[in-house]
Structure 1
Amino acid sequence: MPDIASREFDVKRAAFAATIGNMLEFYDFITYSFFATEIGHTFFPAQSEYGSLMLSLATFGAGFLTRPIGGIVLGIFSDRVGRRPAMLLSFALMGGAILTIALTPSYAAIGIVAPVVVILARMVQGFALGGEVGPTTAYLIEIAAPRNRGLVVAWQPASQEIAATVGALVGVILSSTMAPDMLQAYGWRVAFLLGAVCLPFGIWMRRTLPETVSHGEHVAGQVESSSHLALARRHLRVIVLAVMILASGTISTYVTQYMTTYAKNTLHVSPSLAFTVSLVSNGLQIIGAVLGGWLADRLGRKPIMIWPQLVVLVLTYPAFLWIVRDPGAWSLLFGFGILSFIGSLPFTAFYAAFTEALPQNIRGGVFATIYAVAIATFGGTAQLVVTWLLHVTGDPLAPSWYLLLAAAVGIVAMSLMPETAPVKTGEK
C-alpha cells in the first residue's frame, strides 16, 4: 500500500478516485429532484398536481431520514476500519438503490408495492450518502499537503456540483429529444440508468485508493487526557457553528436544485429552459467551489467564507424579483447563475476549516454525523418548505425568503468560526 506520510502516491489520482465515487452517488441522488414531477406521476398518483408533487418530494425527503444513521455508522466505521472500506460500502449500497428505483414498475402496474419499494430504496440511498461525505472529506484532507488542503478538499463540493451539472445536462437532452409523455413514462428511468452504468468503474477506482488511517501507530490529532475537557469545549463550539453553516448551505443547495421544478411549475417556462438553467447554475458552482478552495489556501478560510456570503445576502431578493417579473432565458440564466457562483465560494473554505479543526481519530465520524444531521433536518425539508410556501402564499418570490434567512444564519456562524488555514496559523 502506498505510504501516505511520505506522499509516495499520486495525490491527484487519489483525489479523483475518491471524488468520482462521490460524484456518481450525488448524480443519482440529485437526479431524483430534477425529475420530481415525473416520478410523482409514476409512483404517487393523486387527485391534484400539487398532491402528486408533494408525495414525490416527501419520498425525496425520506432519503434524508436515514442520513444521520449512515453518517454515524459509516463515519465511525471509517475512523476505526479505514476510509477506503467505508467509501466502498457506501458506494455499493447506493448502486443497489439506484437500480431498484430505476427498475421498479409504476403504481399503475403493481399498485401500492411500487411507492413502498421506492421509499425503501430512497432510505437506503440516504444511509449510503450519509456515510459518504464524512469519510471522503476526511480522506481528501489527509492526502493533501497543508498548503493545498483547501484546493484538494474543494473537489468534495465540486464533485457534487459536477454530478448536478451532468444530471441537468441529461435532463436537457432528454427533455429536448423526448415528447412529454415519453419523458414521464420512461425518460427519467433512462437518467437513473445512465448513472448506474458508471457503478463498476467507480467501485474499481475506489478499490485502488491508498489508505490514510493507520491503526498500528499513534493517530495524528489525539491528545493527552489532561486536555480532553478543553478540547471538548472547543470542538462543541465548532460543531454548533458547523451545524448552522451546513444548515445555511444545505437550504441554499437544495432550493437551487429545486429551481428546475420551480421554473416549470411556478414560472411556467419550458422543460428544456428549466434544465438549461440548472445546467448553467451547477456548472458555475463547480468553478466557484474550486476557486473558493484555491483562494482559501492563499487568503485564509474566514475571508472566503464571510465576504461572498454577504454578497449573496444582498443580491438574493433583487435577483428573484428580476426573475419573477421577467422569467425569460436571460434573467433566469444570469440571475440564478450569479447567485449560484457566488454562493458556492464560501463552503469549500468551510469544509476545509471544519475538517482541519477535528482530530483525525474522530474526523470521519464527527464530520459525517454533523453533516448528515444538518442535511437531514434542513435538506430533506427545503423543497417541501418552498413548495408549501408557494402554495399557501401564491407568491413566486417565496423561495427568496427562505434563502435570505439561511444566508443570514450562515454569515453569523461563519464570522465565529476559528481560522485554520496554514497560511494564517503558520503550519507547514
Structure 2
Amino acid sequence: MTDTVMRRKRVLAASVGNFIDFFEFGLYGIFTTAIALNFFPVEGKASLLLTFAGFAVSFVFRPLGAVVFGHFGDRLGRRGALAVTIVGISVATFVIGVLPATGSIGIAAPVVLVIARVVQGFCTGGEFGGATTVMIEGAPDGRRAFYGSWQNATQLFATVASTGIGMILAVSMPTTALNDWGWRIPFLLTLPLGLVGLYLRLRLSEAEEFTRAAEHPERAPLGVVLRQHWRSVLKIIAMIVVGTSVTYLQAGFFPAYLVREAGVPQSLVYAGMLVGSLVGAIGILVCGRLADRIGRQKPFLVAGPIAQGALAIPVYLLAVRGDPVSVICGYLLLNLGLSINCGVISCAIAESFPARVRYTGISLGYTVAVSVFGGATPLILTGLVAASGTPMAIPVYVLAASVVSLLGALSYPETGWRNRRSAQRDSTVEAAM
C-alpha cells in the first residue's frame, strides 16, 4: 500500500466521525417539529423550547469530553480515543432514531432522548481534536493545511447530506407520515456509517510524530496546556468565534427565523443551505490547498474574519428579501466568507501545540469556543433582537464576532511549512557552528 493511499485512508477515518456529528445536528434542526411532536407533546411554544433544550444540553458536556478524551488520546494514543468517540456518537444518534415516542413509553422517552444527547455531546468533545490531530500528524510536509481542511469541509458536506435527505423525505411523504416515522430513517443510517468508521479507525497506525512524543508522555496533559499553552488556547477560542457563530447562525438560527419572521418559504431556506454549504465545502478545500503554497496567517486567518464582517449586512439583507435569487446568493456569500479561514483553521490550531499535548489543546480550545459561542448563537441572536427591537442586531453581532476573530488571527504566528523548514535549517546551522 502506497503512502498516498494510507494518508487518504487516515483522512477518511478521521473525518467520518465529524460527518456523523454534523449530519445528526442538521437532522435535528430539520426535523425539530417531528421531534417535538414525538417527545415533547405539550401545548404552545413550550414544546419547541423543550426540544431546543434537548439539543443544547449536549454542548454543556463537550468541554468535559474534550478533557477526558484529550487526556487518554495524548497519553495512550489517538486511535483508541477516536474509536470510542465514533461509537458513542453513532450509537447515540441511532438511539434517537429508534426511541419510542412519549405516547408509547411516557416520560422515559424524553429522558432517554436527553441522555442520548448528553452521550453524543460528551463524545463530540473528543472528536474534533482527535480527528484533527490524526489528519495533521499524518499529512506530508507542505500539505498540512489541505489535509486539515477536510475536517471543516466534512461539516458542510454533512449539512448538504442532511438537508438533501430532509428535502427528499419532505416532498415524497405525507406530513403526518413524516412526523410520525419518516423522520427516523436518516437517524438510523448513522449506525452502519459509524461501524465503517470504527473499522477504519481501528486499522489506523499512530503517526511517527506522536510515537516519538509518546516515549515521554505527560502525566497530566490538561495541566501542561493550562500552565504552558493557555495563551494558545485563548487565541484559538478567539479565532474560532466568528466561524462557529456563522455556522450556527446558518444551521441553527436562520431556518426558523427566516420562515417565521421574514416569511421565506421553508423549501427555499433549505435550497439556500444546500447550495451554499456545497460551495462552501469546496471553497474550504481550495483555501486549504492554497494556504500550503502561500502561508496561512494574513491571506486566510486574517482575511476570513474581515470578509465575514464585511459581508454580514449584505448577507442578512439578501436572505430576508425572500426571493429565490436573493436567498441563494445570501447563503452563497455567507459560506464563501466562512470558507476562507475554515480552510486553514484546523491546521493552525493543531500547530499551536506540541504533539505530547496536541489532542488536549485542540479539544479544549475548540469545544469551549463552540459551546459558548456556537451553540449559544441562536439564543444570543434571539435575545439581541428582542432587546434592541431591530433585526439588524443579527449582522451587528456577526460583525462583532469577526472583530474578535481578527484580533486572534493577528496574534497568531505564521507556522507554515516553509517557516518550519527555515527554522530547522537555522537550528542545523547553529548546531554546526
8 Å Cα contact 2:10-2:134 kept in structure 1: no
SS of equivalent residue, structure 1 residue 117 = helix
Q: What one-letter code is carried by the residue in structure 1 that aligns with 2:289?
A: W
8 Å Cα contact 1:289-1:344 kept in structure 2: yes
SS of equivalent residue, structure 1 residue 211 = coil
**2:12 paired with 1:16:** yes
Q: What one-letter code is carried by the residue in structure 1 that aligns with 2:286?
A: L
1:22 CA drift (Å): 2.5
Partner residue in 1 for 2:54: 59
1:316 CA drift (Å): 0.9
* Cα distance in 1 between the residues matched to 2:226 and 2:187: 43
SS of equivalent residue, structure 1 residue 198 = helix
1:389 CA drift (Å): 4.2
SS of equivalent residue, structure 1 residue 426 = helix
Q: What one-letter code is carried by the residue in structure 2 that aligns with 1:21?
A: G
* Cα distance in 2 between the residues matched to 1:128 and 1:55: 22
TM-score normalised by L of structure 1 = 0.89
* Cα distance in 2 between the residues matched to 1:83 and 1:37: 38
* Cα distance in 2 between the residues matched to 1:38 and 1:403: 30
1:233 CA drift (Å): 7.6
Unmatched tracts of structure 2, length 5 or more: 425-433
8 Å Cα contact 2:14-2:132 kept in structure 1: no
**2:324 paired with 1:336:** no
8 Å Cα contact 2:149-2:285 kept in structure 1: yes
Partner residue in 1 for 2:240: 246
The structure-2 alpha-carbon separation of the partners of 1:93 and 1:134, relative to structure 1 and needing over 3 Å to count, comes to same
Residues 20-419 of structure 1: pairs in structure 2 closer than 5 A: 20-48=16-44, 50-212=45-207, 217-219=212-214, 235-258=229-252, 259-303=254-298, 304-324=300-320, 326-390=321-385, 395-419=390-414
The structure-2 alpha-carbon separation of the partners of 1:216 and 1:237, relative to structure 1 and needing over 3 Å to count, comes to closer
8 Å Cα contact 2:137-2:209 kept in structure 1: no
- Measured against aligned partners, the alpha-carbon deviations of 1:49-82 in whole angstroms (never above 9, x if no partner) come to x332222112111011111111111111111111
8 Å Cα contact 1:162-1:282 kept in structure 2: yes
1:352 CA drift (Å): 1.0
1:139 CA drift (Å): 0.8
TM-score normalised by L of structure 2 = 0.88
8 Å Cα contact 1:220-1:359 kept in structure 2: no
* Cα distance in 1 between the residues matched to 2:325 and 2:172: 23
1:127 CA drift (Å): 0.6
8 Å Cα contact 2:98-2:184 kept in structure 1: yes
* Cα distance in 1 between the residues matched to 2:389 and 2:170: 27
Partner residue in 1 for 2:429: none
* Cα distance in 2 between the residues matched to 1:130 and 1:232: 17
Q: What one-letter code is carried by the residue in structure 2 that aligns with 1:183?
A: L
The structure-2 alpha-carbon separation of the partners of 1:237 and 1:87, relative to structure 1 and needing over 3 Å to count, comes to same
The structure-2 alpha-carbon separation of the partners of 1:205 and 1:101, relative to structure 1 and needing over 3 Å to count, comes to same
- Measured against aligned partners, the alpha-carbon deviations of 1:123-150 in whole angstroms (never above 9, x if no partner) come to 0000111110111111111101220000
| Number of residue pairs aligned between Structure 1 and Structure 2 | 417
* Cα distance in 2 between the residues matched to 1:196 and 1:271: 29
SS of equivalent residue, structure 2 residue 22 = helix
* Cα distance in 1 between the residues matched to 2:164 and 2:199: 25
* Cα distance in 1 between the residues matched to 2:233 and 2:278: 30
Q: Out of 418, 423, 426, which is 1:423 matched to?
A: 418
* Cα distance in 2 between the residues matched to 1:181 and 1:393: 38
Greater shift, 18-27 or 214-223, is seen at 214-223
* Cα distance in 2 between the residues matched to 1:196 and 1:340: 29
8 Å Cα contact 2:242-2:305 kept in structure 1: no
SS of equivalent residue, structure 1 residue 154 = helix
8 Å Cα contact 1:149-1:352 kept in structure 2: yes
* Cα distance in 1 between the residues matched to 2:81 and 2:117: 19
Q: What one-letter code is carried by the residue in structure 1 that aligns with 2:102?
A: Y
Greater shift, 292-301 or 207-216, is seen at 207-216
RMSD: 2.7
The structure-2 alpha-carbon separation of the partners of 1:395 and 1:58, relative to structure 1 and needing over 3 Å to count, comes to farther
